[in-house]
Amino acid sequence: MARKLVSSNQKTVKITAGTVEKYLGTKRYRYDMANEKDEVGIATGLAWTPVGGDTLSIEVTLMEGKGSLELTGQLGDVMKESARAAMSYIRSKAEFYGIDKEFYSKYDIHIHVPEGAIPKDGPSAGITLATAMVSALTGKPVRKNVAMTGEITLRGRVLPIGGVKEKVLAAHRAGIDTIIIPAENKKDLDEIPENVRKAIKFVIAEDMETVLNTALAKNKAKSRQKSFSGEEKTAVPEVPPQMEELDHGTATIEQ
C-alpha cells in the first residue's frame, strides 16, 4: 500500500474482501465448516492444536464381519483407547439404545478421522467417537449443527478436558451453534468472548445420555441395508421410549 501511494498520484487505497487476495496472494489455509446436513455415522468433535482450536470430523461405518474394530487417520494410542472405551460402553448399553446385543460379533466397525497426514491424539474425542458409533448402529443421524468435546469412561461419564476457549472459537468459526462440554468445564465458559457466548448454546453434560439426546436427530432415519441373504431391505432402527421423552439436551436418565 505504501509503495502504491508514493509511486502514483493516488491519495488513498481501499482494501476490500474482494481485493485482499490480490495483495496477499492465494489463501494458504482453510478451515472445516459444519456439515451441510444431518448424517448417520458422522459426528463433529473439537480439537486443540498449538495454533488454536479446530473441528474434527469422525466417521464410522459398519460392514458384515466378525466384530473387528479398525481405526484409521493416524490416531495416537490415547485416541485408540478412547475408541475401545466407547465400544465397551456401547456394548454394555446396547439393549437400552435399541442396538442388537450381538452387533460386535456380526459387524466390523471402521472408525476413520479424515486428514490422515495430520497426527491426532488425546482423550477429548471420546464422546464424539461414541456418538458416531451409536449413530451408525441405530441409523439415527447426528445433527449437523452440534459439536462436542469430552472424555468418556466405561460407565458413560463425561470427564473434563482442556483448551475449551480455543475449541469453542473453532466451532463458532465453522458455523456450529450448539456445543456439548463436560460439566466440570462449565467454569471455563467465562473465558469465551461475550459475542461468541451469545451465539452458541452450551449443553453441560455429565453422562452420555445427555450427549446422545442432544446430538442425535429425533426423527427416525430409514437406512438401506442388505440382509445376510443378499436381499435388500429397509431397516428402521428403534430407539427406547425413554430417549424420545427427554427434554432436548437437559435431562439425565437413571436406570
Please indicate whether residue 233 is annotated as part of the active site: no
Beta bridge partners of 146: 178
In Å, what is the CA distance from 243 to each residue of 209, 213, 253? 8, 7, 8
Catalytic pick among 124, 135, 140, 165 = 124
Cα–Cα nearest to 84, from 98, 64, 97, 67 = 67
| 231's grid cell | 436381499
User: Considering Cα of 24, then 30, then 35, then 36, what sign does the dihedral take?
Assistant: positive
Question: In a 3-state reduction of DSSP, which class is residue 93?
Answer: coil
Grid coordinates given for 81: 483407547
Catalytic (active site) residue 88: no
Q: How far apart are CA 188 and CA 176, in angstroms?
A: 18
36-51 residues labelled b (16+ CB within 10 A) or e (exposed): eebbbbbbbbbbbeee
Catalytic residue among 93, 120, 140, 167: 167
Catalytic residues: 124, 167
